[in-house]
Amino acid sequence: MPSGKTGRRVASAVASVEQKPAARPIAIILFGSPGSGKGTQSKYIVEWLKIPQISTGDMLREHIRRGDEIGRAVADRMKAGLLVPDELVNRMVFERVQQPDCERGFILDGYPRTLAQAEEMVSVLDVRGTSQVVIHLVVDYNVIISRMSGRRVCPKCGTLYNAVARPPKVEGICDLDGTPLVIRDDDREEVVRERLLQYERQTRPVIEFFRATIDRVIEVDASGAGPEAVFERIRGELREVLGQDRIR
């Protein structure tokens, strides 16, 4: 366990970034239920800050697509909407953040998702001297259900569409490469229910740990507004945290 919020305050993102811009890398942790828009907001932040998005869901799906050892180990659990083992995702994330493109910082999308993952993340990032900020996307349960039931994905480029919020120009076809859209295996109704249950049980409680451990936990209401408006809110908050001079 880390030593707690007060003990870590000297190392806070704000203090160090203000005194020495760009001196420390930053981890932007996007936290929220399935369907809260973490993936969509990650893409906006990538574009803006030019730091990579680390999506554990995408990485795991890539392993399944390749049919490698990790893919074979997680496929059944993912299909059923269950979380995969903590040690496996922890290892995957910590290998990824050592890549050179993560030097200035990175976005964590879909990680951490359990208390054990969160504790491990905070201790590893503290040791590496990486500042941490949590963006909690807060979305009404009914909105989540309607968003997820209309979700389609391009199997080729991974672009997400939604029947209501973000329909493709031609129904059922990817705008970018013309590939027919599909329903992701784990977006089927009974699996969505299981994923939301897992979120309530295992993931939502992690926010309390963040509040006690990380200086910057930012709540963003992501229910009513469209994705661009939500991004503007996130950008406003992040500008303050990062300090104007470090970012565009």
Instruction: Enumerate the active-site residues.
Output: 38, 113, 151, 184, 195
Instruction: Write down the H helix ranges in 81-220.
Output: 86-96, 115-128, 141-149, 189-198, 206-213
Q: Looking only at residues 122 through 161 of this chain, which bind ligand ADP when binding is defined by CB under 6 A?
A: none
Those residues with Cβ within 8 angstroms of residue 182's Cβ, 6 or more apart along the chain or in another chain:
152, 153, 154, 155
Structure tokens at 139: 């979305």
Report the nearest approach of ligand ADP to the CB of residue 210 (Å).
14
Q: Counting contacts by CB under 6 A, is residue 162 touching ligand ADP?
A: no
Q: Which pairs count as long-range contacts for 175-179, CB under 8 Å and 24+ apart, including other chains? A: 179/154, 179/155
Q: What is the rounded CA–CA span in Å between residue 6 and residue 11?
A: 10
Q: Looking only at residues 74 through 93 of this chain, which bind ligand ADP when binding is defined by CB under 6 A?
A: 77-78, 81-84, 89
Q: Counting contacts by CB under 6 A, is residue 34 touching ligand ADP?
A: yes
Residue 186 contacts residue 78 (beta carbons within 8 Å)? yes
Cα end-to-end distance, the chain, whole Å: 35
Residue with Cβ nearer ligand ADP (57 or 105): 57
Residue with Cβ nearer ligand ADP (18 or 140): 140
Site string for ligand ADP, 193-212 (x = CB under 6 A): --x-----------------
- Binding segment (CB under 6 A) for ligand ADP, from list 23-31, 73-81, 162-170, 221-229: 73-81
Which residues of this chain interact with ligand ADP, rule CB under 6 A?
34, 56-57, 60, 77-78, 81-84, 89, 110-111, 113, 117, 186, 195
